[in-house]
Amino acid sequence: MEASVTIQTRSGSYVVTAGTGIRKQVIKYLPKSYESIYIVSDQTVADLYLEDIKKQFASNQVDSYVVPSGEASKSIDQYYELITDALEKGLNRHSLVIALGGGVVGDLVGFFASTFMRGIDFVQMPTTILAHDSSVGGKVGINHALGKNLIGSFYPPVAVIYDVETLKSLPLREVRSGYAEVVKHGFLEGESFFRDVIRADLTKPLDERTLTKHLLQGIQVKAAVVERDERESYHRMFLNFGHTLGHALESELGYGTWTHGEAVAIGMLFALKVSQRTFRVDLPYEAYYEWIKTNGYPTVLPPLKAESLINKMKKDKKTKNKQIQMVLLKAVGHPVIQQMEEEFLYNQLKDFLGELVD
């Protein structure tokens, strides 16, 4: 099975193809031919799939570089080393860079591609579920000692080649983390996609057909938002559903304690609760809560201070004039941006933490 979606950007368009085993036919999905190919991957993924990609090109035309696995590779030092290596290997503006890996590799390599000799073409080959989100939308970047993703740009790939076969090797925790963003896209899209997603049982191996369908549907939701609004303003903010508290939780618990998706899953639960209170509507809070619980997302929190989380929310990159904005739902498929009254939010959060505390 193979399916594709075309994404429009300001400067053109690119095709996202998802399918089984398509990593073995990379050339078929490239928009044109290139003088040379430079594949960047992390150690974990390189061990599994680098050779599959590399052997499709003439040996004098392809080079590769492997970074350590994990978030620490999104550093200024790793970025500079990547540039040094690429220059030493003779990469130029007529070369293509392939980012083979999850979000860390995609973000780092995309940022590298966006700034190497003022920009060269790059292809995303995501190998995680979470990367269905990060590989579309053009956001690339690295971390700064003072915060995540503070250095970056908007730079779309020339193609996304998504081999769902590579997702089979993912640990359950990574599957969970990725599916949180799939569910998010369900919440933004509407009842039918949302209900379809929460039928997924993550504790068993997912069949490739369902996976391909969910990933491409998620990508379509994201693409629809991003096409309206490439640089963050009104509509793109919808994608932050669950992320206001999610980011604060990640930071408060210490990065790596929970996965991004685990934090966002709780963030969405909170956003549902706040939405119900704010708009006096019924949302599938219970059905969603059941799904995250059954599928092993952490639903019991260590003791946390609401005040401290609120302060973190205020420091978010997207904050304007220190007012916290949240994405709320008037219904599944009907997100809105809401300026939050601080005291109300504090009380809601205190209640919420109380319900989930250990």
Annotated binding site for Zn(2+): 181, 243, 260
- Long-range (24+ apart) CB contacts under 8 A made by 11-17 are 11/156, 12/156, 14/156, 14/157, 14/158, 14/159, 14/160, 15/159, 15/160, 16/135, 16/136, 16/159, 16/160, 16/162, 16/216, 16/219, 16/223, 17/159, 17/160, 17/161, 17/162
DSSP-derived 3-state class of residue 94:
coil
Taking residues 222 to 241 in sequence order and writing x for each that binds a second copy by CB under 8 A, - otherwise, the string is ---------xx---------
Residues 221 and 232: their CA atoms lie apart, in Å, by 16
Taking residues 130 to 169 in sequence order and writing x for each that binds a second copy by CB under 8 A, - otherwise, the string is ---------x-x--xxxx-xxxxxx---------------
Among 61, 92, 294, 311, binds a second copy (CB under 8 A): 92
Residue 316 phi/psi, 5° resolution?
-55, 145
Among 93, 168, 293, 314, binds a second copy (CB under 8 A): 93
Taking residues 27 to 66 in sequence order and writing x for each that binds a second copy by CB under 8 A, - otherwise, the string is --------x-------------------------------
Residue 314 in the binding site for a second copy (CB under 8 A): no
CA dihedral 84, 89, 95, 100 (to 10 degrees): -70
Q: Which amino acid is at 219?
A: I
Residue 116 in the binding site for a second copy (CB under 8 A): yes
DSSP-derived 3-state class of residue 15:
strand
Residue 80 in the binding site for a second copy (CB under 8 A): yes
Residue 9 in the binding site for a second copy (CB under 8 A): no
DSSP-derived 3-state class of residue 212:
helix
Beta carbon of residue 85, minimum distance to a second copy (angstroms, whole number): 11
Beta carbon of residue 77, minimum distance to a second copy (angstroms, whole number): 9
Q: Give the DSSP H or E segment for 16.
A: strand 12-19
Cβ proximity to a second copy: between 6 and 319 the closer is 319
Cβ proximity to a second copy: between 24 and 318 the closer is 318
Binding site for a second copy (CB under 8 A): 10-11, 35, 76, 80, 83-84, 87-88, 92-94, 111, 114-119, 139, 141, 144-147, 149-154, 231-232, 317-321
